[in-house]
Structure 1
Amino acid sequence: MKLIKTKITGLKILKTKIFKDKRGFLKEIFRKEVVNDEDFLFDIYSSSKKNVLRGLHIQTKNPQAKIITVTHGRIFDVAVDLRKKSKTYGKYFGIIISDNDDFSFYIPAGFAHGFVCLSTKCTVYYKNSKYRSPNFEVSVAWNDTDLNIKWPLKNPVLSSKDKNGLSFKDFKKLYR
């Protein structure tokens, strides 16, 4: 297992080996000595149907680092840099991840995260460094024109929370 840098400081691809044979495969997802700057406290597993978009979510107090692994299907995964002093503040990185890939996506604390399911069904496994606090979870508008994320669809299926996400301008005003 090794870390591969992306164009945004801190975001990394966790490259792993997949051991395949006629029975299926085995894939290692996490090693403490590789991602040793975080303690991961709990895991989440989600299931989504095609065109469901979840996010962009961030915890404004005690932000979470995450490791994202797709266990079934294919997603377009996005991380938006909301670290106030970052040179890439307001920039995003997007990547397609599937259950066949030999990597997971490491997102450090301070990023908003979201994804859209591109296949009939998707299951996503998240490792999280902090517990979720619904009182401090904010949804940033997935289609904000200032963020200009190049999503692979125009009309996703959204939760009511995500339909009413904050604009990036409002997020900056509220969470300086």
Structure 2
Amino acid sequence: MAVKTVADLFLHELSDTYSAEKQMTRSLPKMARAAADAQLAQAFLDHLEETRGQVERIDEIVELLNLKLKRIKCAAMEGLVEEGKDLIEEIDKGPVLDVALIGAAQKVEHYEIASYTTLITLAGKLGYDAALPLLQASLAEEKATDEKLGKLGQAAAIEDAALVGQKK
């Protein structure tokens, strides 16, 4: 897709973010199954529901602005998802994997925060006012999820993981 205008860039970024969110709808259930901590598993499942809502919001933006998404695959999210899969395959289920999953999920959240921030800026410049509240709602959810993951990481999971492999 040739990006020549800010409107083209907005469409490209929206299409890329749509791909990223769709990839996460497939990845989050795997992360939930891999988590040993019940709170962490539930956080992944809760975010799955939010992610489905974010996909719906993008669909709504497309309809409101009369756009047609480009069929692209978000390479950045593909890499982040692959990194998460590698962790699940390489680390035994338990507190160390939980800490690794928290880190992997926060990387995803930071990418999504950057994506929605960019979309909000572009929508504002383009006068796509109808899209702004939808994009801001998704950004708020991503920030809240990042904060929740951070709190889980600060909690017992890291302390338990630090004890793994130590002599008692």
Same fold (TM over 0.5): no
TM-score when normalising by structure 1: 0.22
Q: Where is the helix percentage greater, Structure 1 or Structure 2?
A: 2
